[in-house]
Amino acid sequence: MEAQQLNLSSALLTLSVLADSGLEHYRGSFQNRAMYTPIAVSALTLIASVMGTMDRRPQRHAARDAIYGLAAATGLAGLLFHAYNVTKRPGGLSWLNLFYAAPIGAPGALVLAGLLGKGAERARRPAASRQEFGRALAAVTAAGLAGTALETALLHFRGAYHNPAMVLPVSVPPVAATLLGAAAITPGRRVGRLARWWLKLTALLGFAGVGFHAYGVSRNMGGWRNWSQNVLNGPPLPAPPSYTGLALAGLAALGLIDRRKSIDG
């Protein structure tokens, strides 16, 4: 069950990357041929993740595992490309360039999708071979939630938090990340229950964020009647579901931790 949940979380993250990078790189006119790479890799990873979600066999799938490794490597390369894009501009590492250059943390979602996908293949192995795996997965997911919230905080700061709801994705996920990390370090029924509650709230926030961003698009000149331009201008519709994907991964990590406790006990 946890393995399929991790495949689903990877699928949601990959779908977010595929749609977001497609829009952003199209807006950039694919000036660098390497801009096609995350689209191709994320499409391949999405197919692997969907197949993994439907696969109930307890064996690791070597081809899916390799694809997930490729996704993580591609995301890491993307982080370097985006960092270079920011620093090469006049002014270097400045607020203006962080606001309007290639989003420096965006490729991290593909790194996380690859890591969670590889985690899904690992979770298919017998329980005896998963020592500390649940805790490691919780740590990766907590770091992903914190990093995603940091990226959101930067872009919402650019938007001057003109809507009070813009505070939610920079406040709820960090709390979920903190509780998830605490549940991994000191497993307990109370902290685990709190972590699950906040992770579920984070998952709902991801879906609600699409609605808020759609409303933001409608407020641009011409609204949805001018969708071909306003969807590119943002706010980015595909970005919020990444919170849902990470929240599902966190819930899977808690499930693995609880299962290990029951086995050890």
Higher-confidence position of 131 and 182 = 182
**Where do runs of H (alpha helix) occur along the chain?**
2-27, 37-54, 62-87, 95-100, 108-123, 133-158, 172-185, 189-218, 227-233, 241-264
Residue 264 — very low, low, confident or very high, per pLDDT cuts 50/70/90? very low
Residue 250 has pLDDT above 70, yes or no: yes
**What does the mean pLDDT of the chain come to?**
88
Residue 116 has pLDDT above 90, yes or no: yes
Residue 106 — very low, low, confident or very high, per pLDDT cuts 50/70/90? confident
SS3 state at 98 = helix
- Residue 34: per-residue pLDDT: 86
166-198 as b/e, with b when 16 or more CB fall inside 10 Å? Answer: bebbbebbbbbbbbbbbbbeebeeebbebbbeb
Q: What angle do CA 242, 38, 90 make, to 5 degrees?
A: 90
Based on C-alpha coordinates, what's the Rg of the chain?
A: 19
Residue 129 has pLDDT above 60, yes or no: no
Question: For the residues 151-165, what does the mean pLDDT come to?
Answer: 90
pTM over 0.85: yes
**For residues 35 and 56, what is the distance between their CA atoms, to the nearest angstrom?**
35
Q: Quick check: 75 and 111 in contact, CB under 8 A?
A: yes
- Residue 128: per-residue pLDDT: 45
Handedness of CA 94, 31, 23, 80 (dihedral sign): negative
Question: For the residues 194-201, what does the mean pLDDT come to?
Answer: 94
- Residue 265: per-residue pLDDT: 45
Lowest mean per-residue pLDDT among 129-138, 169-178, 211-220:
129-138
